[in-house]
Structure 1
């Protein structure tokens, strides 16, 4: 049931983002949507299936095991079941994912997998699920270890997963949010404009705005970039080492972490 709710929510948010992308696009996309979606959504479906047959439900199970054995910060020092505990668990999980995202850029062996996500030359809602299976497995194991250390309830983990998926779809979307609204939203959450900077071709811009939902970690840790020199509607995206869109198919992307790679610019 938990996985069905998550899938239903993700499909609903994705559909909404696609409608808004068509109604008010930020950038004019040049790739054919069918091919772009086939690659990105194909990877997403494969990763979902892989998780279901290998580590399905691991995050929720980790929370239940931690609670049963009194593992983790929250289970030992806070009254479980209170709304404040749920909020604390959510914030700590979000910070843990923020730290993982930084590590995925700074540690070379993690970047080999994460660069599959950044190799997309045009980002839209489908980019949110464009990840290498290796990164998905690593992320789930890391997340479960964090759950053991933090000790959030299973319900907190469930809510966190739903919000994380929804925010990823939102901040990768090709939506032009009115400036008056976007300028206020970015004080709280990572907006599509902020995350578009993270997908810039320039490393100094790529290595910023690591948050997925709230932007506070980037501001606190000084990894926040509010503006860049070029207009976001024309900002070159993707990686300088991978510019040939015709090569960036499934098999190329699956083999990418194991290929000899040029150093990052």
Structure 2
């Protein structure tokens, strides 16, 4: 049931964002949707199948197990329900922020994470362009975090829904008026803010690591407000890959096992 809820909400948000992109795009794309979407959505379907056959539902089950066995910080302290929900959501969001930074700094993890950054355009489908090994490692990392904190099981489900929805939103190619965008950034990650993270400029790629709330980038000084080039003209992706055609499905699966290119 937990998986059905997450996938249903994720699909609903995705449909809303692609319609919004079509009606009110922020940037003009030069690579066809047919060429990119077949790869990105193919990866998404493949990852869902892999997770269903391996680690599907393990995050929620680990939280239930922690609660039943009484281990993890929140369970040791017998925190009230409302506090355990808030702490779980904030702790897991910060944990994913930290994981994202490590995925850029540690060459072994960057081999996997670069698959996400090889997309030469930026829209809602970019949010699901991940290598299956990175998805699995990320899930095991979340399980560890859940066990350490003694995460609230219902908050874990909520976090997974928020994470998927926020990623789809902040990767979308939607046009939000500048004045509204600045106000939204005080709390959440907007597409204009996260698009900077997908810039070909290394200093910009190494910024704006957050996925849902924007405070971590500000507190940890990884926040960049504006790119060097205009949002509508900045190059997206990694420079070495902009010199060749969009990578195919099998090329992305094999990419981490090839010689690592300098960013």
Provide the alpha-carbon RMSD of the alignment. Answer: 1.0
Partner of 2:247: 248
| Alignment coverage as a number of residue pairs | 263
Name the residue aligned to 2:213: 214
Residues 169, 191 of structure 2: 8 Å contact kept: yes
Partner of 2:52: 52
The answer on whether the counterparts of 2:171 and 2:194 sit within 8 Å (CA) in structure 1 is yes
Asked whether the equivalents of residues 66 and 151 of structure 1 are also in contact (C-alpha less than 8 Å), the reply is: yes
Distance 1:262 1:177 in 2: 34
Residue deviations 1:208-242, cap 9 Å, x none? 10000001011110001111221111110100121
| Structure 1 Cα separation of the partners of residues 224 and 149 of structure 2 | 29
Looking at structure 2, the residues matched to 57 and 228 of structure 1 have their Cα atoms a distance apart, in angstroms, of 38
Q: Which residue of 2 aligns with 1:65?
A: 65
Aligned partners of 2:127 and 2:228: how far apart in 1? 25
**Corresponding residue number in structure 2 for 1:234:** 233
CA distance in 2, matches of 1:41, 1:18: 13
Counterpart of 2:17 in structure 1 is 17
Q: SS state of the match for residue 234, structure 1?
A: coil
Partner SS state of residue 127, structure 1: helix
Match of 2:28 in 1: 28
2:239 is paired with a residue of what secondary structure?
coil
TM-score normalised by length of structure 1: 0.97
8 Å CA contact 2:120–2:246 kept in 1: the answer is no
2:131 is the alignment partner of 1:138: no
Is the Cα–Cα contact under 8 Å of residues 80 and 153 in structure 1 kept in the other structure? no
Cα deviation code 1:58-81 (max 9, x no counterpart): 100110111112221111124242
Which stretches in structure 2 are left out of the alignment for 5+ residues? none
Per-residue deviation at 1:169?
0.2
Deviations 1:79-130 (A, max 9, x none): 242x232111100000000000000000000000000000000010000000
Q: What TM-score do you get using the length of structure 2 for normalisation? A: 0.98
Distance in 1, matches of 2:260 and 2:96, equals 26
Go from structure 1 to structure 2 and tell me whether the alpha carbon gap of 1:251 and 1:144 turns closer, same or farther (over 3 Å shift).
same
Whole-Å separation in 2 of the counterparts to 1:147 and 1:26:
37
Q: How many Å separate the matches in 2 of 1:247 and 1:208?
A: 24
Paired with 1:206 and 1:167, the residues of 2 have a C-alpha distance of 19
Aligned to 1:77: 77
